[in-house]
Structure 1
Amino acid sequence: MSDRPFFADRPGAVLGDDGIAHFGDPVREQRRLERGEAIAPRDDRAVIEVSGPDRLSWLDSITSQFVANLQPGDSTELLVLDPHGRVEHVAAVFEDGASVWLIADAGDAAGLAKWLTMMRFRSQVTVAVRDDLAVLGFFEHGSAERLVAQVAHRPHATERVPDGMPLVWADPWRSVTAGGWQYAATASHPGADYAWVEAIVERAALPQLAGAELAGLLAVEALRVAAWRPRWAREIDDRAIPHEYDWLRTAVHLNKGCYRGQETVAKVHNLGHPPRRLTLLHLDGSDSVLPEPGALVVDATGEGEPSEVGHVTTIVRHHELGPVALAVLARRVPADATLEIRFGESRVAAAQEVIVPADAGATAEVPRLTRLSRRPVRQEPAAPDPAV
């Protein structure tokens, strides 16, 4: 990080690579965050403002989500894909009637803003990274929401939005959005209770929250993993396609117009299967040392030599589930395989909770053609009966 986080001087604050990891008690912070009683400073997130009269139609033409008809106060998320359908950028989206506000992982923000700027051509849009703004995360309907509402940023007063509008993005992960598709085969998706929101505030207003109950990024990540929620900074690599993470739930509209990467999205969803799949791993908690992201996952089923089948993306200690991880595995790995995570000389047993099933995709009902080898044998006409 280039700047010291504002709340870094709070007693008990422990800095991590992306921001404040915790404020002295990560488990307690998880519980208070989940109850809507704590605010999480998102120093690992950044804000991009897209303004101009063409902003919605332009974004709609170059990203995976249908955003052309967003109304003031609408929230969604989008992906930027490469020509082969691989995920390059991810952003939360909030429309306030005068600008589209994008919230991206801090490591992705500069690259996303640069790409958007290069794609303007003749469109009437302006792209700006807003370093003067900060992001705060919390769960809805609690004391944290009421506290943040007092300092939330209200940038515009227009005919469309007379009093301005607080910039508060509601994560759509709790349900399948219009035009989306869920691969997870479960009647009770853990994301249904994931009422996560992120507010954009002026950095100059942060001192007003000096006495607020705070939670660190370890708590944020633990609750995200429990909801099966993928993230650019953790799960995405240079091979990632949205199907592998069940991201068609909220970030892809399957019936919108053409955009870069759409052919791969349609082919895999309708005719094929994603080559890899996201899964939740429940880890043996007897070892106090947990693997690091990137640790190898191997299939130790049977007596043969264990084979590498994937890698861990995020590892957390959840206040109820214990040590759990998100991992990306090869599609062929059976749901009941005996898995191990290997790092250095250590071995940690892991049990799968399937998120994206192996048969995900191939949703089109394509009629089967009769094989040539199965054509009926042509019958020669019978010889005439001489008695007739």
Structure 2
Amino acid sequence: MAAPANGPAAGYPVDRLIFAPGDVDLARSPLAGHLMAETYVLGAFNPGLTRLPNGNLLMMVRVAEALREPVRNDHVHAIRWADGRYVLDPWPLEQADTADPRKFLLQGGGWKVMALTSLSWLLPVELAPDGLEVVAVHYDRAIAPQADLQCYGIEDARISRVSDRWLMTTCSVSPERHSTTLYSSENALDWRFEGIVLDHQNKDMLIFEGLIDGRYWAQTRPLGDLYFAYPPGSEWRAGPSINLATSPDALHWKPYERPGIRPRAGTAVSARIGGGAPPILTDEGWLTLWHGVERHEIVGIYRTYWSILDRDDPSRVLRGGEAPLLEANAGLTRPIEDLMYLRDVVFTTGIADAGDHYVVASGEADLACRITHIPKSVFAAG
């Protein structure tokens, strides 16, 4: 498995990579044997995290399986699931902008249209209780596309345990819609597909780990190309924000009237914000980890921040940290430097209670899985 980088990279007792592209056996991939083209693991990252009934931790790792040579014969190719198999779609190279290695933009339309050079599927990776050793990789329980609405892949799992049931939200990608889909489980290993729960381009849906007044709550993050301005001098900045929704059954969701966490004017994280790890209940309220993005080059700089939300009304932010909780760390990825294609990105996707600290799972550089032990004292009131 991935050789961990030793030492407190972010000032925490434990901060290391635990799973990387070289740890994935593509001979056991859902795509194996389908394509007449070589593939490789572009990234094994953005892991959902939960604790299993046996006490071990489970990461649901996003494996982005990409074409080794997406450009051939003056065409750039995308991988697509269709009727139980995987196929390649060729697009004329002169119609495509291939500046980003993860995708290409198709030119000439009235709006932004893109396709992917990789297809993502989800790989369950079981860890020791402290998250620092891989116990098993469950290829037999991998989650792959099974419907047209997932034909370009399944991305970025977030796992929440509510009572005696595990709920996992994912992004399902297709030309039909970029939707949020739900899986449920009684043991966090065997998952049942529940279908679409949020429609087009509503990403980073995080279900709270507990009910509030008998209802399920979730953070959402709808995207769009148009936002209305706040008044001059407002403390807020228009743009993508973390909204809230409630549900009687975790299947049917109603947006909450009051907003959640919004980008503040004059801050570095003004490009966009979005949910990270599912909110968990503490003595003070709901602890939520989220990402903020600073504009920089093509993708931006992703950092992790935190806030405490009111236990009865999560639209009320009680307090939070001004400084980043986590930042990308080049020291962690130095052993796999030859695989790097992005920098300055840490994307937190899971959290588990471990007594006096939290085990926090993140994607590092859209490449590998990072495990950090963060003392609970970090979140204590000053």
TM-score under structure 1 normalisation?
0.29
Higher helix share: 1
Of structures 1 and 2, the larger Rg is shown by 1
